[in-house]
Amino acid sequence: MRYLSTRGHADRKRFCEILLEGLAPDGGLYLPESYPQVDGAQLEQWRQLLREQGYAALAFEVLSLYIDDIPADDLRALCAKTYTEQVFGSKEIVPVRPLEDGLLIEALSNGPTLAFKDMAMQLLGNLFEYELGRRGEQLNILGATSGDTGSAAEYAMRGKQGVRVFMTSPNGRMSPFQQAQMFSLLDANIHNLAIEGVFDDCQDIVKAVSNDLEFKRRYKIGTVNSINWARLLAQVVYYFAGYLYATESNAQKVSFAVPSGNFGNVCAGHVARMMGLPIEQLVVATNENDVLDEFFRTGIYRVRGSADTYETSSPSMDISKASNFERFVFDLLGRDGARVKALFGDALNSEGRFDLSADPHFAQAAARYGFVSGKSTHANRLDTIRDTYQRFGQMIDTHTADGVKVAREHLQPGVPMIVLETALPIKFAATIVEALGQEPTRPAKFEGIEALPKRVQVMPADVAQVKAYIEAHCAD
C-alpha cells in the first residue's frame, strides 16, 4: 500500500513513513492510492469475528488492509494492547444503544479522557512507540486542539519512550474540565501551550511549522491531529463496528450522523463508505460555526477569521477551517491534485473561500458520496439535551446533542441512523446544568481535577515563539 498527497506531489510513501510525518512536503494530506474493497463475504466474516473475538480483532483486519510494513503479528499485538475492556470500559469497546425508533447512539467516549478521540489516539501512542523503537529515533509531536484532541493525545503519549508532546490550544476557550485534563498533566514529556486566539490560529501554527521542512526535519516534528492519516485510519474501524453491531445482515444499510468541526471524524466514515460499507447517508452536524453545512448546502467553502469564529457550548467544534475537508474534496474532484492545490493552497490563502456550486462534481457530494448536513444552535442543544433526558433517561453531551438534532432531520424509513457520541456530559457540565438543572455524573478518577496543580505556557499566536519554545525544550 502506497500513499500520495492530495496536492499532487510525486512521492509515494509507505504507512510507517507517513505515520511520523504529518503533512506531505507540498502541504497536502496523505491518502492511499486506492481504497481497499470489502465485499459482502468479507463483511460477513468480520461480523462473526467481532462477535467471537471482539473489537481488537476487527481493528487488525481493517488496519492490515492499509498497513503492510508492520509484521502482521506485531500489528495484531498492538491492536490487542490498545483495545481492551480495562481501557475502554466494556467488552464491546464501542457499544451501540437505542435512543428512539430508528435512531441509535454509538458510545465512543469511554476511554481515558471520556472523548471519542481516545479511540484513535490510544492506538497512535502505541504505533509511535513501536516505530520509534524500531528506528531508535525520537519524535516531537506538535498538535492543536479545540478541546478533546489535546487531552486524548497527552494521555496516550505520557511516559512513552522517545516522544514529546507540544500541544497548542486556544487560551480560555475550552471548558474548565477540558483545561484541567490537559494542564494537570505534569509529565516531563508533555508541554501545553495556550495560544491567545482561536483554534484556527493554533491549527495555522501547526501547519506553518510542518511546512518548514528544514525545521521539521531538524526537530523531528510529527502530528497527532487528524491530518495524520494513521489517526483517521483508526477511526474507520468504529464505523465498521457500529454497522455490524446495529444490523443483522449485510443487506441492510445504515446512516451515520457525526458532530463535525475539523471533518476528521466524518472523513473516516467517507473512507469506510468508499471501502464498501453499506452507508446510506453521512450526516454532517455543525454548530454555529457552520462552514461545512454551508458547503454541503451551497457548494461554497468559506473560512471565517478569528473574529467571526463563535465561542459556543460545543467548543470542540468551534472551527472555521476544516483541515480534513481537503481529503474529501480530493476524492470529489476525481483525485485532481493540481486542482486541490489551487483551491486549498491558493484560493483559500488569497480569497478565504472557493466556490464549487457550478461544478458538476458538487452534485455528487450527496448523490455519490452520501453527504448531507445540518446546523444546531445553543438553543437547539439545550432542547435536545432536555428532551433526550426527559423522554429516554439518557444524558448526552453538547456535541452529541448537535448530532442528534441534525440526525432527526434526516431520518429515513427503514434505515437506522447511528449518531456518533462525541464525549461524556461531564466535560461540558455548565451547559448540562443549564439544560437539566443538575450536574452530570463524574467518574471517580476525575474528582477534584480542576483543583490540581497545572503546568501551561500562555503565548501569542506567533509561529516564531512556538518554534523557539520547541527548540528550548527538545533537550529536556
Rounded Cα distance between 463 and 180, Å, is 25
CA atoms within 13 A on the CB side of 248: 0
Instruction: Verify whether residue 117 is a known catalytic residue.
Output: yes
Rounded Cα distance between 143 and 164, Å, is 11
Q: Computed from CA positions of residues 376, 378, 383, 385, in that sequence, does the dihedral angle turn out positive or negative?
A: positive
Cβ atoms within 10 A of the Cβ of 335, count?
15
Assigned C-alpha cell, 135: 528506528
In the chain the first and final C-alpha atoms are separated, in Å, by 37
CA atoms within 13 A on the CB side of 384: 24
Helical packing angle, 378-392 and 398-408, nearest 10°: 90
CB 255 within 8 A of CB 281: yes
Q: Nearest Cα to 421, choosing from 401, 392, 438, 406?
A: 401
Rounded Cα distance between 372 and 417, Å, is 13
Assigned C-alpha cell, 281: 447517508
Assigned C-alpha cell, 404: 442528534
From the list 13, 81, 91, 117, the catalytic residue is 117
CB 161 within 8 A of CB 121: no
* Phi, psi (degrees; rounded to nearest 5) at 190: -115, 125
Catalytic residues: 117
